[in-house]
């Protein structure tokens, strides 16, 4: 994900991140709960960062800049077919005996 300029227009920010608007609102609410302070001043004219939001944004930018670069090819290749586990193996079928783990049909 590329670092984009912060946008106080939440629907446009959600569209640029390619996530639903409701998910962005709930993520912001959850983050404000974790921080313990409101990060945005919400008004009809738009949103703006509070002092706590500005500090958090500066710290996040600093930590992202200091982080080591991502390793290319670190992701496992996709594809292939998943196989269901059968447990510890199947019991051998013995002629004349009922099949293991099968109920006998009553008459």
pLDDT interval class at 36 (50, 70, 90): very high
Q: What is the mean pLDDT of the chain?
A: 78
List C-alpha distances in Å: 24 to 5, 21, 28, 90.
16, 5, 6, 49
Q: Which structural domains are found in the chain, ordered by start?
A: 10-66 (1.10.10.10)
- Which segments of the chain does DSSP mark as H helices, in order? 10-17, 21-35, 51-66
What are the pLDDT digits (tens) for 47-80?
Answer: 888 999 999 999 999 999 999 888 776 666 666 6
Spatial neighbors of 92 by CB under 8 A, at least 6 apart, are: none
Query: Is the full-model pTM beyond 0.85?
Result: no
């Amino acid at each position: 994900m590329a670092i984009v300029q912060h946008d106080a227009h939440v629907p446009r920010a959600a569209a640029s991140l390619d996530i639903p608007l409701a998910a962005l609102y709930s993520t912001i609410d959850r983050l404000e709960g974790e921080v313990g302070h409101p990060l945005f001043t919400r008004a009809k004219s738009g949103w703006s960062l509070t002092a706590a939001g500005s500090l958090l944004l500066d710290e996040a930018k600093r930590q992202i800049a200091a982080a080591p670069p991502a390793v290319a090819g670190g992701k496992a290749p996709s594809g292939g077919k998943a196989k269901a586990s059968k447990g510890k193996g199947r019991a051998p079928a013995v002629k004349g005996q009922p099949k293991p783990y099968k109920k006998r049909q009553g008459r």
